[in-house]
A and B are shown apart, each in its own frame.
Chain A
Amino acid sequence: MKRLPPIAAALVFLSACEREDREFRPSPVAGEGDAAIALSSIAPGPGGTEMRADTGKAYEENAYHLSEGKRLFTWFNCKGCHANGGGGSGPALMDDRWIYGGEFQNIVQSIGEGRPNGMPSFRGKIPDELIMQIAGYVRSMGRHVPMDAAPGRNDDLMPRPSEHRLPSSPAVTGGTVPPSGQAPQ
């Protein structure tokens, strides 16, 4: 009976061994375009998206996917227009103002289908899994993802705190709409 407490203590340590799974190999069977997230093409603006299978939690709460998204954000030159999230010729991504909705599925749709006035469509150019990784990273810029999963500090200079040090944003469904989004189109 005396041995029981130390053994129990050792078992408690073992429980820390599993942290998160890195999923490298998406299912090779599904065809390109058969997205896990069903996207509606009806209307711009928040709330217009039909959501069937997945809310993107697998991508938003996984540190590996988020850091991959961060790398791809640079590789695919999202920075060229959106800078480091502060916006340039493209809108800012780190605030809570979203012209086409700030939910995970809205962002996936914006990247995949493109948006008027400049955002190109990347469907067929970026594989679906990578689009979702990027969308997860975009969500992390406003700290809509758990702190322990958000990417850490950059190696190079960064104009703002790293994603995991940003204050967590309050959940606004779809975000608020900036003036440019409210104006009649």
Chain B
Amino acid sequence: MRCCRPALLTPPLLLLTACSGWQSSLDPQGPQADLLAGLFWVFTAVLSAVWLLTMTALVVALLRRHPARTEPLELNTRPERGMARTVGAAAALTLVVVVALTVVSYGAQRALFSGGEAPLTLKVKGHQWWWEVTYEDPGPSRQFTTANEIHVPVGQPVHVKLESADVIHSFWVPNLAGKMDAIPGRENRLVIQASKEGVFRGQCTEFCGWQHAHMAITVVAHSLEDFERWRESQISAAEPPDDPVRKRGMQIFLSRPCVMCHQIRGTPAAGKVAPDLTHIGSRLHIAAGTLPNGRGNLAAWIVDPQGIKPGAHMPLIKLNAEEVEPLARYLEGLK
């Protein structure tokens, strides 16, 4: 048996390794997530203590020697009164614990949903199976749309308006906030805030169809200056390519079915039903967190989207072999 003990211990230890990292609510990176993690630990501690006390009392009661009763109908009031007192005290304690936990939870939620002013408002729309992100701005020319990647400035609360284009999705970036559903025909609101720089992963947490598991969102937290620089670059239209290979790639993009769904600002491509590709080269991932961004993966995704993400709405576009590379180079260069 001795040999097998490490094997038995490994699974629980593996579970513990999941407690930190870029997608974990036990590794909070913002005030909202701090509140929730605090709530989680308070509940875990109190309920573990209750469980331990109950189990101890149960074991003690089972092991205690009881004097044998001679007469079943005999009334012995003294020990019964003691028992009644114990049960009454335990019930009162239960009530206190339940009420206290309710108050703690209510206080945390009040703080979470209190709203308040935020300098930045995003609209995040869930689609089967990707996220459309619109940065709102009072000036229409400073408003822009991107996909599957949110950039936020460190230390500033960001309002997220959640919507859905088709079915119910749920937005959850565990390191930053709790989860919130995106419901068709409704706008849900959430506040996220990052307290230090980093990259955090979010995931759709409401089963939404075939590729639900491949519907991730990445949140990148920068310093305010870096964020402003990023925002300016995203607002600008795509730069026209200067080398001949990328020019050919752009020509292929514009003459193929790509333009029916995708938009590249600064070109005639103005489709609105698929992710905006204006600055796709600047993103960390493609296909909603399915593949790391890069020329090879872009080419793979164009050539065989249904092999990578079966059921996704990106159709197979039949290109000639020599057309794939210029196209991938063109997209890669859209920084």
Contacts and interface: CB of A to CB of B under 8 A. Distances in A.
Contact of B311 (A22, A28, A32): A22
B36 to A, nearest CB: 32
Interface in A77-134: 124-127, 129-130
B317 interface: yes
- Chain B CB count within 10 A is highest, among A22, A32, A126, for A32
Given A24-B310, A28-B304, A129 B261 contact: no
B307 interface: yes
Contacts of B259: 125
A155 B306 CA distance: 26
Interface size class of A (residues with CB under 8 A): 10 to 19
B178 interface: no
Interface of A is mostly: loop
A76 interface: yes
Interface in A1-31: 22, 24-26, 28, 30-31
B129 to A, nearest CB: 13
B85 interface: no
B220 to A, nearest CB: 30
B273 interface: yes
B333 interface: no
A35 to B, nearest CB: 12
Interface in B233-270: 255-257, 259-261
Given A25-B306, A28-B316, A30-B318, A127 B311 contact: no
Given A22-B311, A28-B303, A75 B273 contact: yes
B155 interface: no
- The 3 A-B pairs at the shortest CB distance, nearest first, are namely A25-B306, A32-B318, A24-B306
Given A22-B311, A24-B310, A30-B318, 12 more contacts: A25-B306, A26-B306, A31-B318, A31-B320, A32-B318, A75-B273, A76-B260, A124-B256, A125-B257, A126-B260, A127-B316, A155-B184
9 contacts: A26-B316, A28-B316, A30-B318, A32-B318, A75-B273, A124-B255, A125-B257, A127-B315, A129-B316
Interface of A: 22, 24-26, 28, 30-32, 71, 75-76, 124-127, 129-130, 155
